[in-house]
Structure 1
Amino acid sequence: LEGDSTEEARLTQLVEQNTTAALDALKQSVKESVALGGLAQARARLNLNRLLARSPSPQQDLINSNRARVLVLLEVEPDSRDKAYALINLATSFHPTQAEFGNEKMKLLDRAIAVAKNIGDLRAESFALGSQAQIYESALQYEKAMALTRQAQFAAQQVSAADSLYRWQWQAGRILKATGKIQQAISVYEQAIATLQTIRGDIVAANQDLQFDFRDAVEPVYRELIALLLDPDASNTSVSQVVKNTISQNISRAIDVSELLKLAELQNFFGDECVQVALNNAKSNAGQSDANAAVVYSVILADRTEMVLQLPNKTLTHHPVKMSAEQLQHEIDSLRLLLEKRATDEYLSQAQKIYDVLIRPLEADLAAANFKTLVFVNDGVLRKVPMAALHDRKQFLIEKYAIATTPSLSLTTRGSLERTNLQALILGLTVERPPFTALLNVNDEANGVQKILKGTKLLDRDFTQKNLLSQLQKQS
């Protein structure tokens, strides 16, 4: 509900209520754990600190008190995997900006490494070493950071701990980038993504923590590699033909990485194997290509958005949009809000502005190609608005080309639809259902679809779960 301030206030209040309830539950968990002591109490206090640290006004005295108590509890605990991870979690619970606690964090991680070595747990040792490397990375001490990162990688490799290994490959890539070793960084980032691909099917089932922080711990690996591959400084038109060929190859690799990111996002969202099933189905006709279609990929990065165009002849070009992710979010939200004002054309100037930013740089390449359909594989906030509504000050984009959108081209079946004896199941709601207003045009739209495709229409009171299941069973 874009622009609905009442609904925004309701949801904000609900978030605050849920946060308060979670905080109360965690505080109660700490109280209950006191009788148990040991690792149970340490975990309860660490969990409470994790939520307290996210608060706009963290209760620092309580956080510090919990840390001190956890240290006392762990001091008397025998060495174990749980103790090693508790020490690592305690060390990493400090905010990255709290540089004054660097020595304290290092000592905690040294203890975690000692525990891990004592019990022969290479996976825990890997996380402790990698966490130490992160401290040096934050302090810009890259030589020390890389040495510890390599040790963390080696420990993870010895026990095939892919969920640990990819993190340190990613970390090595960041360090190499920071030290100007771009090609080496690209190679290491690709290794990290290859490692992630080996556990993609296990992220949901076997590693709930990894799924939970997908946006922080997985997604950036893909986006940072795409940013390196499409570095605008490498796209200088005066470079040699060899370098131009490399740039073209990098664009192709960036598309591949973008497709892997889309698959990972969908699998993380759905939480099951349906994406893999769809991927297998799409692969059955992967060799088919549409000579009448051009594809536009968008990739939103922190400092810019990359628009990648693939023409029917497989020619690739990319154009960086010099607008931060935050700025783009604002512009697209504005367009979405204006599009919902159906009785006015206030949206038009914003639709033209977005066209100028995203599509205008592609116009020359689009005009030179002979195709009918423009396929968009959009990223992030760009999925919120119809590309068809963009306007070049003379006509809408939909008036130039047939427009198609897909979450991922690798999930798209390119085979033509069998159009004989089509029957539609048309479902809709026309009446108000608070907080949603009535949809006055749904009835006319449903009638129009039924006139074209025939089939069964279920609106309002007829649109029930029982009727839906009955119709699906009848047609199966």
Structure 2
Amino acid sequence: MANRQKNATPDSQLPNLPKIAQLLANTVKEAHSLGDRRAEANALLSLGNLYEQTKQWSEATNLTQQGLILAQATITPDIAYRLQWQLGRLLWQQKEFPGAIAAYDAAVDTIKSLRSDLATINQDIQFNFRDSVEPLYRQSVELLLQSQAGQPNAKILDQARKRIEALQLAEIDNFFQEACLEGKNVILDQVADQENPNTAIFSTAAIFYPIILPKQLQVIVKLPNQPLQLYSTNITQEEVEKAVSKLRKVLVNPTATNAVKMQSQTVYNWLLKPIESKLSAKKVDTLVFVLDGVLRNIPMASLYDGQKFLIEKYAIALSVSLQLQNPHPLVKQPLKALIAGLSQPPADFPNFAPLPAIKSEVKSISNAGVATTNLLDQQFTSKALEKEVNSFPFNVVHLATHGQFSSRAEETFILAADGPINVKQFDSLLRSRDETQAQAVELLVLSACQTAAGDKRAALGLAGTAIRAGARSTLASLWQIDDESTALFVGDFYQQLKKGNISKAQALRHAQLKILQHPNYRAPSFWSAYVLIGNWL
């Protein structure tokens, strides 16, 4: 009893809700009399939130609507989106689904209008993304899916995945503190529904959109020429994150193949098991994932169905959004690669080990019949790379050097002989090329990079790098691999591409299988780290 009293909050320290309500009501009046509409809208937001906490839905709704009228009249979007969000929650509680969905939609639209201001918005207004924005999107998706009342609706499913896409684009913008990706591309569904016009490459793709909600993992799937489908697993976000974190830990351990199989089968059962028979019936050979949250930290190639790894059955690619830039295969174009490699990291980066096999990696690309221009070791500086990229018509840029992906843009970089090239500098390196020219950068390869240790959202840096580079496809590693197996992998990947009758995703699969079948490199830690982002054709 004494213990309980010791740890309990004294009554004197408990919030006095009526007193707080009175203070807020007075603040509303004062702000109104002073003509400070921003302060008045803010106080109405807080007062409405207080009534929301005490489940006085009608009063809370009324106050929130008053605040919203003020915020919209005074053009204060940073307050307006919070009021719209609050209104959505209140109407949801009252089972008014159409009104709640409209309020959430309005909040998301307001956030979109703020996207271009992320870099310049006042520091006192700037919001913490994870706390202030991400829950809005996730709740919105949860509301949309709940509103179906057990009857899947293709329109609502489409809206739900677009909402998750909007979240991912907002995450990227927040990563760079500026708006980065504007839609002017082809919708993934159109690529999945059409047979590849180039008969030399036939690819049948299914597209997966896993969505992590607080108490469920929902998966929306697009099969060729089929309406969107939905299935779900009742599992909390915390459990998903724990399982994925466990899998990631064993994946990088070359002696833990059995543990990988056990852990990855759990994730396979969530994402693919409910639809595996339909994939087979539709003769799907390529899986494209638009991954959510922590799922980006693990390679889908490593998922295990109880008998085979996913890569043994399908070619696999990732997409950052629901759109694809210039969805054409890399066919009958002579491959011209600019290769920059650094076998010895700069002295002030002692945490990065030498990469002695880089010379064999470069040689393996040349041996595959690719025309190469090389910047090796001391020749590989940021200025030399920029000069070469913009002087010659390369369609492949291959960077064989250490790099790190982080959830912070300033900690996402690749190493050159003169130091790190930050992700924000990729603009000047690659984006200055005209993407419409015949020799646009079709493929960026980052062969010795890794995600930052202990950073749950580090794969955000990989997505950011892929976008910032402006290449139509990016091939990168989620963790650093033995560099001798990397040289074998890279050689086979380019040999396949050079044939000209295979998609990039299929070339990646072939190279991964070659490593998987090698007696020294069968463990998933060697072959599964590579991921292809963007155009998989």
For the criterion TM > 0.5, the same-fold answer is yes
What letter matches 2:318 in structure 1?
A: T
Rounded Cα–Cα distance in structure 2 between residues aligned with 1:444 and 1:391: 32
Report the residue type matching 2:92 in the other structure.
K
Alignment of 1:1-400 (within 5 A): 100-209=15-124, 211-231=126-146, 234-235=149-150, 243-244=151-152, 247-276=153-182, 279-280=183-184, 282=185, 289-290=191-192, 291=194, 292-346=204-258, 347-400=260-313
Contact 2:118–2:179, Cα closer than 8 Å, also in 1? no
TM-fit CA distance, 1:413? 3.6
3-state SS of 2:181 partner: helix
CA contact under 8 A between 1:304 and 1:322: conserved in structure 2? yes
AA aligned to 2:42 is F
> Aligned equivalents of 2:226 and 2:281: distance in 1?
14
How many pairs align?
Answer: 367
Match of 2:351 among 428, 435, 458: 435
- What is the rounded CA distance, in whole Å, between the counterparts of 2:359 and 2:97 in structure 1? 57
The answer to whether structure 1 residue 405 and structure 2 residue 318 are counterparts is: yes
C-alpha separation between the residues in 1 aligned to 2:172 and 2:309?
A: 30
The structure-2 alpha-carbon separation of the partners of 1:412 and 1:423, relative to structure 1 and needing over 3 Å to count, comes to same
Distance 1:448 1:183, change over 3 A: farther
| 8 Å CA contact 1:173, 1:184 repeated in 2 | yes
Deviations 1:58-104 (A, max 9, x none): xx9xxxxxxxxxxxxxxxxxxxxxxxxxxxxxxxxxxxxx8624244
CA-to-aligned-CA distance 1:387-428 (integer Å, 9 cap, x gap):
011111222212222111011123544233465232122334
Structure 1 residue 179: Cα displacement: 2.4
RMSD: 2.8
TM-superposed CA distance for 1:249, in Å, is: 2.0
One-letter code of the match for 1:162?
Answer: P
Letter of the aligned partner of 2:236 in structure 1?
A: S
Structure with the higher fraction of residues in strand conformation:
2
- CA distance, structure 2, for counterparts of residue 199 and residue 443 of structure 1: 47
Structure 1 unmatched ranges of 5 or more: 1-59, 61-97, 236-242
**Alpha-carbon contact 1:203-1:210 (below 8 Å) kept:** no
Contact 2:115 2:178 in 1 (8 A): no
Q: Which fold has the larger relative contact order, with Cα–Cα distance below 8 Å and residues 6 or more apart in sequence? A: 2
1:439 & 1:230 partners in 2: Cα distance?
49
- Structure ranking higher in helix proportion: 1
Q: CA–CA distance in 1 between the matches of 2:225 and 2:324?
A: 21
User: How far, CA to CA, are the matches of 2:240 and 2:124 in structure 1?
Assistant: 30
Q: Pick the structure with greater CA Rg.
A: 1
Structure 2 gap segments, 5+ residues each: 1-8, 195-203, 393-432, 434-537
Query: Cα offset for 1:124?
Result: 1.9
Give the match's secondary structure for 1:456.
Answer: strand
TM-score, structure 1 normalization: 0.70
Change (3 A) 1:394 1:443: farther
- Percent identity for Structure 1 against Structure 2: 36
Deviates more, 1:352-361 or 1:131-140: 352-361
Distance 2:123 2:335 in 1: 42
Residue identity opposite 2:177 in structure 1:
G
Asked if the contact 1:374–1:401 (Cα under 8 Å) also holds between the matched residues in 2, the reply is yes
